Amino acid sequence: MLIRIVGTVAVVFVLAASPVAAHDEFRIVGSIVATDSRARVLTVRMIPQPGDDADVVERNVRIALPTWVTTERDGKPIALADLKAGLYVVVDATGHDYTDLEAVKVRIVPPPPRR
């Protein structure tokens, strides 16, 4: 019994520790496609940056909005409800890859100049 409990706890800790190895910082620049305030998820159409990896293409990225996320516009805090589709944002997030992102800070920025 003792060995079983210790083994179970050890497995839980190992499983909990492994994801942190790939904990990374991401910056996503793009426009909001949708916000789901109940599920606290923001969907952003990201704009690839020069120098990004080849696998970074214009696509929709779903970003979780934890309770501690900072949201701002012109340096002033705003409510989650102010994140509306069509607005341009810069999102600093952490995660394993583009399918597993959690926002740390969301900034509403002006739209890009028309070309």
Partner 1 sequence: MSDDVTRSLPSVRRLVLATAGACAVAMVILVAAVLPAEYGVDPLGTGSALGLLRGAGPETPPAAGAAGDALVPLVRGPSAEYGSTHRTDTVEFDLGPYEYLEYKYRLAQGAAMVYSWQASAAVMHDFHGAPGDGGPEVSIDKSTRARGSGSLTAPFAGLHGWYWENPGWTPITIRLTSAGFYDGALESRSNRTQRTHAPAPVWSGADSPEPVGRASGPPAESRE
Residues lying near partner 1 in the complex (CB under 8 A): 1-2, 5-6, 9-10, 13-14, 17-18, 20-27, 29, 47, 49-53, 56, 90, 109-110, 112-113
In one-letter notation, the amino acid at residue 71 is T
* Residues forming beta bridges with residue 63, ordered by sequence position: 42, 101
Minimum CB–partner distance for residue 34 and partner 1 (Å): 21
Cα 102 from Cα 109, distance rounded (Å): 19
C-alpha span between 61 and 51 (Å, rounded): 19
1 or 81: whose CB is closer to partner 1?
1
Could you tell me the two tokens for 18?
């492994």
State phi, psi for 105 to the nearest 5 degrees: -145, 135
Which of residues 36 and 112 has its CB atom nearest to partner 1 in the complex? 112
* CB distance 106 to 66 below 8 Å: no
